[in-house]
Chains A and B, each alone.
Chain A
Amino acid sequence: MKALLLNSSSHDDLNMELIHDITKKILEEKNFQVESVMIEDKEIKECRGCFNCWLKTPGECIHDDEGRIITKTIINSDVVIMLTPVIYGGYSSKMKLVLDRIIPVLLPFFKKIKGEIHHKKRYKKYPKVIVVGMMNGEDQESSEIFCELIKRNALNWYNSFTGDTIVYQKEAKIKKEINELFKYLEVK
C-alpha cells in the first residue's frame, strides 16, 4: 500500500514538522510505503483555468512541471495525507496550488450526485484523502469553515476526502487525534 504525505507548510514551521513526523510514523507502523513531499521545495505553476487538461490533452495539465508529477503520484496512491495550516478556514496557498492542479483526474462531463451537479470520474480508483488542518490556537470560526470545505471536497471527489482541524498541542495529544483520523482507513 502506497501513501503520499503532502506537507504544505514551510521549513521553519516546527509545529507542522512534528505533526508530519508523527503522521509518517503512524503510516509506517501500518506498513505503508510512504513518500513524503515538501510542497515548498517543488516548482509548481498556478492553474490558469484554460481547460486544456480536459479538452486538448485529456488528463494532463498544460504546465510541464512538478505539479504533473504530484498529480500522477496522487492518483496512483492508496492514501494521500494533506498537512496544511488552516488559512481563514481554507487550505494554505501551497496546498491549494496542488489541489487546483488535480482537476485533470476528473472528466469535464457533468453528473448529478445527491441532487447536485458534479464532474464524472476519469479513473476507476481514487485514493482516500485525509486532510489535517493545523491551527496554532483555538479559532472556532475557521475550524468550522475548514470542516465544511472538506465535506464539499468529499462530495466533488466521490467521498474520498475526510479530515479535521487540530490545534497544536502536546505530542501525545496530537498522536491521539491523528490516530482518530486514521480510523477512516479501516471503515471501507
Chain B
Amino acid sequence: MEQVLLINGSPKNKNSTSLMLGQYILRKLSKKNFKTDTIHLLSMLNNNLDEIFEKISESDLLILSFPLYVDSLPSHVMKFFEVMSKNNLKHQKIMAIGNCGFPESFHIKTALKICKNFAEKKNLHWIGGLAIGAGPMFNGRSIEEMGFLTRKLIQGFNMVVLSIIRNEEIKDDAKILVSRKVIPTWAYKLIGNKSFKKVAKMNNIKIYDTPYQ
C-alpha cells in the first residue's frame, strides 16, 4: 500500500487554504486504499525534527502545500529545504501545491521552480507543481463547498488524483485547469479592497497608518 504524506507549509493549522487543498487530494486517495498522513511543518520543525524525517522516509509520495510569501516559499519551508539538504532521501515522488493572495496564479511560478530544483538536486522524483490564485477566497473552506466557482479547479484536482493513482506525472491539462482564475481580476480587486475597508471600520483602525515613518 502506497503512503502519502501531506506537508502543510502554512503556519496556520485552521482556516488554511494550503491544508484544505492538500486534504482534498488525501481524501480522494484514501478511498483508493492509499495510506495518508499530514504534518504541520512550522510546529514540527521547531519541536520534532526526528518525526519529520521518520514520516518522510516511510512515504512514497510527498505533497508539499504552501502559501506564497513575498514571491516565494515561507521562511520555514526554506528551513525545511535547508535541513533536508543535509539528509539522504530515498527516491520518493514529490509534488507541490502553491496558493497565493493575488487572483492570478502565475505569481507562484518561481516558488514552484525552487521546489522542483530542490527535488531534482535531492534526487527525488518530481511529478509536478500546481499554482492556485485567490487563496484567501477559500478561507479554509473545501473546494467542493464553493459551487460553480471551483468546478474547473475540482476537475483539475481530480485529474491530479487520477495521475497519482496511475503512478504517472501530473498532466499539463490538469495544471492549466487548477491555475485558471476562480473569479475575474477586476471582481477580486473590488471585493478585496471593499472587504479590507469594511474590516478596518469594524476594527476601528486607521488602515493607512504609517507608524514607522
A: residues with CB less than 8 A from B are: 46-50, 54-60, 71-72, 75-76, 87-94, 96-97, 99-100, 102-103, 105, 107-112, 116-118, 122-125, 141-142, 145, 148-149, 152-153, 156
Contact = CB atoms under 8 A, between A and B. Distances in A.
Nearest to A98: B75
B117 A142 contact: yes
B111 to A, nearest CB: 8
Contacts of A105: 212
A50 B13 CA distance: 12
Contacts of B165: none
Interface of B: 10-12, 42, 67, 69-76, 78-79, 81-82, 85, 102-104, 107, 110-111, 113-114, 117-118, 120-121, 185, 188-189, 192-193, 196, 199-200, 203, 205-213
Given A92-B78, A108-B192, 15 more contacts: A49-B12, A54-B196, A55-B200, A58-B207, A59-B209, A75-B213, A76-B213, A88-B114, A90-B81, A96-B73, A109-B193, A123-B210, A142-B117, A145-B117, A148-B110
Most chain A beta-carbon contacts within 10 A, residue among B78, B121, B205, B208: B78
A122 B188 contact: no
Contacts of A116: 102, 104, 107
A108 B200 CA distance: 11
Contacts of A123: 210, 212-213
B209 A55 contact: no
Contact of B74 (A54, A57, A89, A96): A96
Nearest to A145: B113
A156 B205 contact: no
Rank and list the top 10 A-B pairs by shortest CB-CB distance, nearest first: A93-B79, A96-B75, A93-B78, A58-B209, A152-B71, A97-B75, A59-B211, A88-B118, A48-B11, A110-B189
